[in-house]
Amino acid sequence: MNTPVEQFLDYVTLERGLSGNTRSAYEDDLTALHRFMEKRSVRQFNDLERKDVLEFLMAERERGLSVNSVSRRLVAIRVFFRYLQQESLLDRNVVEIMDSPKLAKILPGVLTSREVERLLDAPDLKEPRGVRDRTILELLYATGLRVSEAAALAVGDIQFDSDYLRCFGKGSKARVVPFGRQAKDFLTRYIDQVRPGFLRDDDAEGQLFLTRLGRGFTRQGLWRLVKGYAQSAGISKNVTPHTLRHSFASHMLANGAPLRIIQEILGHADIATTQVYTHVDEGRLRASHSQFHPRA
């Protein structure tokens, strides 16, 4: 009996009348997906999760495919999955709400979950500096903050009783951003046990992250810190603080978070037409973050 892919290819050729070139393109796209599944020991399309599809597309991008080609891969998968649903061969369509244009924007510069773990494990927690640096990395990944926002954080911006922080984004717009248990644990350890040892100057008393000289971190300093640990972790990609922001958004999306929630957390200006930050429901943000973020 023909495989589901072969049945689908016959369907688009014979019943929908698509050209031979289109059939070949679909075959190429779905063959690439099948190879990826074999490497992951995923036996059936019903076993695919949305994060698997996203990681497949990211892997194709890293392999050298253009954004347009990666988007075409997603289109083929979406058409194929709709066919499987139509034939009662698929229990749930995990790619139905994945948006090609949005996805194409976040594909460049994204770490896999395993690469994030390697990066976070790079600092030496036996040293005060390592605890501080692990806290910085955890917070960047947990919140998707811009590097300038992270550098400007004050100790008073962290609200431990409700697990969120306040920051100022572009245009000096304030917003609240939830963080998860892992980031909270390291923030508590850093502020209570490590940060006092970095204090050198009363002028820096309010700033959250301090250098060995007791000064607040600059954007450039945080950029160098992230780059250094990425190199130590053996990650060959060009990793910057913005890479962690992209990874945060991608992983939240892959784990089912609504796109609007992600936009609100990131502070994108286009998430609503007017007064976006005044409409943020802090409880809803925290609940969604806890549900969908891998380290919450």
One-letter amino acid for residue 195 of the chain: R
- The residue assigned the tokens 């008073």 is 156
Give the C-alpha separation, 226 to 221, whole Å: 9
Give the C-alpha separation, 26 to 194, whole Å: 55
Query: Would you call 268 a catalytic residue per the annotation?
Result: yes
Token pair, residue 57, equals 């597309």
Identify which of 99, 76, 94 has the alpha carbon closest to the alpha carbon of residue 26. Answer: 76
Query: Would you call 251 a catalytic residue per the annotation?
Result: no
Select which of 219, 227, 242, 295 is catalytic: 242
- Strands laid side by side in the 164-168 sheet: 158-159, 164-168, 174-178
Please report, for residues 78, 103, 198, 246, the alpha-carbon distance to residue 99 in angstroms, rounded to integers and kept in the order given.
10, 6, 45, 16
Query: Would you call 184 a catalytic residue per the annotation?
Result: no
Burial class (CB in 10 A: 0-12, 13-18, 19+), 20: exposed
Packing angle of the helix pair 128-143, 181-189 (nearest 10 deg): 150
Select which of 132, 146, 195, 293 is catalytic: 146
Give the C-alpha separation, 130 to 203, whole Å: 24
- The residue assigned the tokens 């945080």 is 222
Within the chain, strands assigned E span 158-159, 164-168, 174-178
One-letter amino acid for residue 93 of the chain: N
Select which of 16, 35, 39, 170 is catalytic: 170
Q: Do residues 110 and 242 touch, judged by C-beta distance below 8 A?
A: no
Query: Would you call 242 a catalytic residue per the annotation?
Result: yes
Select which of 11, 215, 277, 295 is catalytic: 277
Packing angle of the helix pair 20-39, 50-62 (nearest 10 deg): 110
Query: Would you call 245 a catalytic residue per the annotation?
Result: yes
Select which of 134, 245, 246, 293 is catalytic: 245
Which residues are catalytically annotated? Answer: 146, 170, 242, 245, 268, 277
